[in-house]
Amino acid sequence: MTAVAFILKGYPRLSETFIAQEIRGLERRGLDIRLVSLRHPTDAARHPIHAEIDAPVLYLPEYLKDQPGRVRRGWRAARRLPGYAAARRRWLADLRRDPTANRVRRFGQACVLAAELPADVGRLHFHFLHTPASVARYAALMRGLPFSGSAHAKDIWTTPDWDLAEKLAEADWVATCTASGAARLRTLAPDPARVALVYHGIDLARFPPPPATARPAGGPVTLLSVGRLVAKKGYDDLIDALARLPADLDWRLVQIGGGDLAEPLRRRAEAAGIADRIAWRGPQPQEAVLTALRAADLFVLASKIAADGDRDGLPNVLMEAQSQGLPVLATAVSAIPELIRDGETGRLVPPEDPAALAEALAGLIADPDARARLGAAGAARVRTEFDAARCLDALTDRFGLETVGRAA
């Protein structure tokens, strides 16, 4: 079998464990993968799974001006490829509708990729339908190769319809990890069958059940939230909800994740008078997240749709929390209701409603029996319906891999 080049925004990234999990899972099933990253890593830490991935990484010039010699060599080599003229026409048509430096950069990166792509690569596969898909599309045209990909969240909801439709028309197939995302893409695809719903699931080997140890009685109820400090994660709403909690409730919040809103959110917590109850831990590797999940009493995520349309897909961290028997309180936005059944396997409240979030928080903080019931039900569903090994079977078929290694 020929190799497949995976085109990624950046690699490795702490916030994209679901991609690393997929790559390693496909490697174990025999897929020969080469990674191509549009950016160099910016996270100081890495997850253990990144050390397990065998695929070599090719870093393209993040900005064309930073490696002008390499870009010129790539362009000259690409111009000699049979598909260059078609790729250039496609890019110029895109540029007329999207006259941005970003669009120019993607064509330059595609030229470098087409020139430097190893000869044994027989398919390009992107993760995210915006910029990685553009680079994959142009380079695939230049090299005369098929391409496919995976769509996730922001790329589905913030990319122009014309851009999505044309990529869906040319790609062999596109997988996406939520039913809501699949429904949107199928309305734009000339052949809806090209869009496959493939949940990422969770690698249960990395998230085994927690040790059966009794939690110490007394002390504050520990709330945990894991997510980037960006608008769509709704941390402003969470802070406002926490500020509404009755004064006699004993709680503390641990937040894991970094982002551009870190300082504004800290100031918001200070203004609300709850800064001393919140521990901001910043980005953490997976083993630290697992430790935090096992030490918490309740997981909370207040996702919402950002002003620019950006939103979550199905955050893997919700499955990670449930795998540890941790009760989850989240918002009914995007694909989150595909995982959490309100009142059965967790609690859901409307997005952007701090009052409703505060009411649900207060009820769960005060009711350990409800937390235990929801946590147990959530863990049972994740382990039966969101096992990554089973979810990976659909991609195994799409890539034409043998059935060896398939989940039983």
Q: 388: exposed, middle or buried (C-beta count within 10 Å: 0-12, 13-18, 19+)?
A: buried
Mean pLDDT confidence for 238-254: 97
pLDDT in tens, 163-198: 999 999 999 999 998 999 999 999 999 999 999 999
Query: Over 70: is that where the pLDDT of 235 sits?
Result: yes
What is the value of pTM for the model shown? 0.81
- Hey, where are the domains in the chain? 3-201+387-398, 221-385
Q: What percent of the chain has pLDDT over 90?
A: 83
The answer to whether 3-201+387-398 and 221-385 have equal CATH topology is yes
pLDDT at site 214: 59
Contact of 77 with 115, CB cutoff 8 Å: yes
Q: Three-state DSSP class for 328?
A: strand
CA–CA dist 91, 359 (Å, integer): 51
pLDDT in tens, 8-20: 999 998 878 889 9
What one-character-per-residue DSSP string does 68-124 give? HHHHHHHHHHHHTSTTHHHHHHHHHHHHHHS-SHHHHHHHHHHHHHHHHS-TTEEEE
CATH topology (fold) of 3-201+387-398: Rossmann fold (3.40.50)
Rg (CA), the chain: 22
Cα separations in angstroms, 158 against 128, 163, 289 = 11, 10, 29
Cα separations in angstroms, 62 against 38, 113, 188, 260 = 6, 12, 30, 20
pLDDT at site 408: 45
133: tokens are: 């898909």
pLDDT at site 404: 46
Under the banding of pLDDT at 50, 70 and 90, the label for residue 344 is: very high
- On average, the pLDDT of the chain sits at 94
CATH number at 221-385: 3.40.50.2000
CA–CA dist 31, 93 (Å, integer): 34
* Strand partners for 252: 222
